Amino acid sequence: LAKTTQPISMDSYEGQEVNITCSHNNIATNDYITWYQQFPSQGPRFIIQGYKTKVTNEVASLFIPADRKSSTLSLPRVSLSDTAVYYCLFSGGYNKLIFGAGTRLAVHP
Amino acid sequence: NAGVTQTPKFQVLKTGQSMTLQCAQDMNHNSMYWYRQDPGMGLRLIYYSASEGTTDKGEVPNGYNVSRLNKREFSLRLESAAPSQTSVYFCASRRQGKGAGELFFGEGSRLTVL
């Protein structure tokens, strides 16, 4: 079964860059890596997806090394509103989408 | 455009009672999912439906049944509720694309089993 490993929690301060790493040792050749954000009492929300190298959008960057056994979500200049749980996910068989335990990010003033 | 709609939003059951959680999406997505999230924990996949007419077990299917009624609707049924099924249940649909695509989640259904 596809499995990811992330740090349980992280702390940061407003204005800092935050990097959250996810390990996925048994990722398959056709798997993409996807990251979601979840606020309390809400469903997760898609942030970014990538296959290899680097992907950037308006909210985050995703770095994936050549071996694809890990990925790093980078949040530039975080604010208090970025306090949330962040999940990496990849398909354990294309349609079977399994979430990891997530990383609880706390941003402090 | 409502996205993914779940009903009910809150429900209290007694042990042994049955109920069905309803989910509907208006985005014409093929794949739909049911997850549960216990307090302070991550999401666990219960069942999913890759397309109309198909359903498959996820990580924690025991105690649940599902029905993919049509392309829009995917329901989750608890036949005999147990306190261990107290959780928040999220339904999601997936926009097809490269890789895992993008999941769109409902607001959740908060279930308490006494």
pLDDT, one tens digit per residue, over A66-90 is: 999 999 999 999 999 999 999 998 7
**Both tokens assigned to A7:** 């740090």
User: Are residues B59 and A102, on separate chains, in Cβ contact within 8 Å?
Assistant: no
**Band (A1; pLDDT cuts 50, 70, 90):** low
Q: What is the pLDDT of residue B89?
A: 98
Under 8 Å between Cβ of A4 and A22? yes
Supply the pLDDT for residue B34: 98
- Tell whether B44 lies on the interface with A, counting CB pairs under 8 A: yes
Cα dist from B36 to A62, A63, B89, B93, whole Å: 27, 29, 4, 15
Question: What is the band of B1 on the pLDDT scale with cuts at 50, 70, 90?
Answer: low
Chain A: closest CA distance from residue B52 (Å): 13
Contact status, residue A45 vs residue A57, Cβ threshold 8 Å: no
DSSP state of A16: -
- Looking at residue A96, its pLDDT comes to 79
Averaged pLDDT, B73-79: 97
Minimal CA separation from B50 to chain A, in Å? 6
Of A1, A34, A43, the CB nearest to B99: A34
Q: Which residue has the tokens 């890596």?
A: A33
